[in-house]
Each structure stands twice: as C-alpha cells, then as structure tokens.
Structure 1
Amino acid sequence: MADVRWVYDVTIFLYAASVLFYFHDFLQSNRKVNRLAFGLLAVVWCLQTVFFVSQMTAKLYFPVLTLFETLFFYSWVLVTLSMVMNYLFRIDLIVFFTNVIGFVVLSLSMFAQETEMIEQTKALTSELLFIHITLALISYAAFSLSLVFSIMYLVQHYMLKRKRWSPLFRRLPSLDKLELFSDRLNMIGLPLLLLGVILGAIWGHLVLSAHFWLDPKVGMSTLVLIGYSIVMYQRITDKWRGSRLAVSNLVAFSLLLLNFLFTDISGFHRWM
C-alpha cells in the first residue's frame, strides 16, 4: 500500500486546488478558471480510481469496511456524480458545492486510522455485506446532491422574495429545475437505500443474533427510510412543493447525518 500512498497524497493536493479554482469561478465567473478547475477534478477522479483499484487488488475485497475506506469511496462517488451531472446539465455551481462536500469528506479520511482486518471480521463478511455497504454509500451520495439542489433552491427563493438580482442569481438554474433535480436524486437514493437496508437485514439475520433489530444504527436507518419516504410521498401527491419541500429534504438529510454518526455506538456497525 505504501507504494501507491503518493497517489492519495497527490489527490488531496489537486482536489484542494480544484475546489479553490471553483471558488474563484464562483466569485468572479471566470470561464478559463472554471475549465482549469474541471480539468483538475478529472485528474482527481482518475487518481482516486487508481488508488481505489490498488486497494481492492491489495486487500482482495471491496474496500468499504473501515472508516478510511468508507470516506474515500463516498468522496469518489460524489466526484463521479458531480461530473456526470455537469456533463448532462452543465450546471457549474452543482459541481462546486458538491465537491466542497467531497473534499471535506476526503480530508476527514486523512484522520481516519486505517487498520488491518482481523481474521474474525473476515469470517463475518460476505459479498452480501459489501453490496449492502456499497448501495448505502451510493444512496448517501445521491441524497447529498439532492441536498445541494435544495439549498440552492432556498437561496434562490430567498433572493427572489427580496428582489436581489446578484450575479449569483443569474447563474442558478430555475426553481423548477432545482426542485426537479432534487426530486430525481431522491428517487435514485431512496430505492438504493431500501435495497441496501434489506440486504443488510438479510445479512444480520444470517450472521448476527435475533436481537440485531434493536441496534441503534438499525433504528436510525429505518427513520431515514421513513423520512425520505414521507418527502417522496408528499412530492408525488403534490401536497408539499417549493420551499416547504426543500426544507423537508434538509430535515431528512439531517436524519441521514445522525445515522452516519450512530455508526460508532452501534453494536456491529462500528468502524474497524
């Protein structure tokens, strides 16, 4: 692992530079700087992919078990989704805001002490567990992007109500588009999370005791599912629209953050 550690270090450095260039473009709307920032981000994605594949090859399992691996994979998913969104919809701001989150997550991975898996842990893991974790992380990334769109919606709604026509306002998509993008990402994230929870429950039933349902992490995951299900139901039935829907999306994401924090007090979800 040491021979590819430099890839991780260079990735951190280039990611920081990309975010700084995006911040410069955010303030002054400079297209040359924007292209430079996106180019660096593309290099960051390539380096992250190389590092991730090298981990998978060296460890002979899909590396999403330790806190370090989880944060790194989550950051990689955010970078990937932001680039895809930018390619499909050409929204520079979503790339900037999403990668601020991605860079923070990747930076936090520097402080996560990566430990080797003990033999007992290896015996308890299976492909089912890897799929469960992977689906959950991808759903988290989709919900994160949905949160960014909701925040952008609330910012634009606030500016419209107060008739503040700043350069930032002109760069934001319409309210309808922001609401639509947020809704579509929730429609991606919710079934993925549901499937991940189902697979996790199957794994828990096969490996753990019958009382694994009482684990706080399981309870919080259920609350997250309920929260986003309520948001989606209210959106489909047109009972919640606009800023109310955006605020409810923020509340649902706060449950997701609590669910992530509950990992360390869980009986079997603890970071290794």
Structure 2
Amino acid sequence: MVDLTVARLQEVMIVLYALGLVFYLIDYLKKSKVVHRTAFWLIVTVWVTQTAILSLYIIQMKRFPVLSLVEGIYFYVWLLVTLSIVFQLIYKVNFMVFFTNIIGFVFLMIHVFSNLKYTASTVGDSLISEVLFVHITSAILSYAVFALAFVFAVLYLIVYNVLKSKKFGKRFSSLPNLHQTMMGMKMSIYTGIPILFVSLLFGVQWAYVALENWSLFDVKIMGSFAVLLIYSSVIYFNYKGKLQSVEFAWMTIFAFLLTVVNFFLGSTLSQFHLWI
C-alpha cells in the first residue's frame, strides 16, 4: 500500500515539477507576476510531495534514505528544491531558481526512469552507523552546494555576455549583477570544500573500521579526492589572481561536471561503494 502511494505521489510530483519549470520559463519571457507566483507555488508543492515521500519511506524502512545510490539521488533532488525555495524567498533571483530546478528535474528523471528501484542496497541494513550517516549526508550536501556554484557560474557567463553584447532588455532585468554571481560562486565553493573534506574523513574512518577489504585507490575514493583537489585548486588560483572572471566560471562548471561523473561512474566502478 505504501509503495503504491509513493508511486502515485511520484507521478503527480513529476507533472507538477515540469509545469513549474514551464511557468518559470513563461515568466522569464513574459514577466507576469501571476505566472511567477504560480511557478513558485508549484515548486513548493513539489517540495511538499517530496517531503511526504521521504517521510513515508522513513516510516516504512525505519531509517533515513541515503544508503543506496538511488536513495542518495532522491535526497539530492530534495536538497536542490529546498535550496531553490530558500533562494527565491531570500534573494528573489529567478534565474538561479530556474537553473537549480533544471538540475533537480534532470536528477529526478534519472531517479524515476532508471532501472534502479527505490530500495535500499543489499548491504544497507548492516551499514547503519552514525559515522556512515555523517559521511553520506555530508557528501550529498556538498554536491548540492557545488550545484549552486555551477548555477552561479552559468549566470555569470550569461550576464557577462549580455553586458558584452550590450543587448539589454526586460528579459534580463531580473538577472543578478556580475559581482553577485561571482560572490555566489566563491561562497558556494568555500562552503562545499570543507563539507566534502569532512565527508571523506568520515568515509575513510568508517571503511577502516567496518570493512576488511578496501583500498584508498578505489575509483570512487580517488575520484572524490580529485574533486576536492580541483575545487581547492580553483579557489587557490582565483585567490592568486591567475583564474579570474570567465575562466573562473568555466573552471567551476568543469569541476561540477567532474563531480557528476564521479557521482555516477565512480559508484558504478567502485569495488565496494554501493552507495553515494
């Protein structure tokens, strides 16, 4: 009964999410307060539906759903939707909300239409521990923050090209300025790096205690450390003045794409990483 309810809620959520994105796009083209308000409340409804599904899953499984790849993807989407709503309420940056939800919708499609089922991994029940929980949730949180950096980078490039071409108009009136998008990139990366570092520390600690056969040279571990190194390098070279403006934005985009590759490919090729 719970599984059927979840399936129906997911179907409704996908339709509402798609409608919300369409209304945000219409609002961008037509600048209508009614359309904008409708888009916002559709996304809020999506968030409420996601929260209901997560709550049902927690009640059914008696644990927080982050112990498998598919669970992690769903929680990641929930985080992105949550962040988009917060940014809409606080900063009222429509472009950022739209792009953040585009990422969330793509990951939701991956979650729903993949061959993976919304179940725990085969080792899920035996892996529950506080250390593992911190490792997984902090990793997902860092991915969400890096997604925000990616959105800010895309916005920076859009604003930069608009200013360069001198094609101003109502369509671009809601765009943040270059300083705001640059600060958004920096603050997101500054926040994501320590969170990912904490996740890796807890992950290595857990593996050392709980696993008999594991290696620091595992594909997922190496990929995660590579992501951490790249983001740290991006910030370092920006601080030294060697990576500025457009180059900084493109490197931020590249770093996030690597994060996405590590998110999926690393988990697939890993010898023991059956979760995020």
TM-score (norm 2): 0.92
2:181 corresponds to 1:178: yes
Q: Structure 2 counterpart of 1:180, which letter?
A: M
Determine whether 1:264 maps to 2:268.
yes
Q: Pick the aligned partner of 1:162 from 139, 162, 165.
A: 165
Kept after mapping to 2: 8 A contact 1:75/1:102:
yes
1:248 aligns with 2:251: yes
What is the Cα deviation at residue 170 of structure 1? 2.4
CA, structure 1 residues 32+233, in 2 after alignment: closer, same or farther (shift >3 Å)?
Answer: same
- Alignment: residue pair count: 272
What SS is found at the alignment partner of 2:216?
Answer: helix
Name structure 2 gaps, 5 residues minimum: none
Q: Alignment partner of 1:165: what SS? A: coil
Q: Which runs of 5+ in 1 are unaligned?
A: none
Show the 5 A alignment for 1:219-234: 219-234=222-237
Query: Partner letter of residue 4 of structure 1?
Result: T
Q: Does the C-alpha gap of structure 1 residues 117 and 82 become closer, same or farther in structure 2, counting only changes over 3 Å?
A: closer
1:68/1:110 contact within 8 Å kept: no
User: Among the aligned pairs, what percent are the same residue?
Assistant: 35
Report what 1:81 is aligned to.
Answer: 83
Check 1:235–1:125 CA distance in 2 against 1; reply closer, same or farther (3 A cut).
same
Letter of the 2:261 partner, please give it.
L
Match of 2:44 in 1: 42
Q: Does 1:124 align with 2:132?
A: no
Give yes or no for the alignment of 1:188 onto 2:191.
yes
Partners of 1:72 and 1:40 in 2: how far apart? 18
TM-score (norm 1): 0.93
Cα RMSD (Å): 1.9
**Separation in 2, partners of 1:134, 1:225:** 16
Choose the corresponding residue for 1:54, options 56, 77, 89. 56
Change (3 A) 1:119 1:246: closer
Q: Please name the residue that 1:106 is paired with.
A: 108
User: Which one-letter code corresponds to 2:134 in the other structure?
Assistant: I
Q: Is the 8 A contact 1:228 1:252 kept in 2?
A: yes
Kept after mapping to 2: 8 A contact 1:263/1:270: yes
- For 1:121 and 1:174, the matched residues in 2 are separated by 45
In the alignment, the residues of structure 1 paired with residue 135 and residue 20 of structure 2 have an alpha-carbon distance, to the nearest angstrom, of 32
